[in-house]
Amino acid sequence: MTVDEIYLNIGQGMAGAIEESSWTKARLLIKVVGTGVVGYTGDYQIRETGHDMSVRKIPRDIRLWIRELHEITTEGGSNKWNRAVFTLLPDGKFDMEFIWDQELQDEIEKHARS
C-alpha cells in the first residue's frame, strides 16, 4: 500500500466513524510504541464544541495501516516518530503531523528493563 492509499483509508475510516453531518474538523491522535504496537483516540468538532470520536467505529485495519505508515516513513532511521496527529476536514483535506516524544520513549524503555 502506498502512503497516499494509507492516508485515504485513515481519512475514510475517520469520516465513517463520525455520526454527525455538521462536523468541522476531526483528529486522530496516534501512538506507536515498541515494535509497532498502535494506540489511538479521536475527537471532532461541531462549530467550536469538541466531541469524542467512537474509535470502535473505525475499521480495525487502521492499526495495520498506521503500522505500515510507520515502517515506510521511518525506513532507514530517518523521520523518527512515535506520536502523530491526523487532522481531517469535511472536504477531504488533511494534515499529518509526525511527533517524536522522548518522554514516551523513555517510559517504554524503562518498562522494558523492569
CA angle 98, 42, 4 (to 5 degrees): 50
Q: How confident is the model at residue 62 (pLDDT cuts 50, 70, 90)?
A: very high
Q: Where are the domains of the chain?
A: 3-113
pLDDT value at residue 46: 96
Q: Is the pLDDT of residue 110 over 90?
A: no
pTM of the predicted structure, to 2 decimals: 0.90
- Amino acid identity, position 55: V
* Tens of pLDDT, residues 1-49: 999 999 999 999 999 999 999 999 999 999 998 777 889 999 999 998 9
Superfamily for domain range 3-113 = BH3703-like domains (3.30.500.20)
**Alpha-carbon separation of residue 69 from 5, 9, 13, 29, 95 (angstroms):** 10, 11, 15, 14, 14
User: Positive or negative, the Cα torsion across 64, 65, 70, 71?
Assistant: positive
Q: Nearest CA to 35 among 85, 2, 70, 7?
A: 70
The mean pLDDT of 54-61, rounded to a whole number, is 92
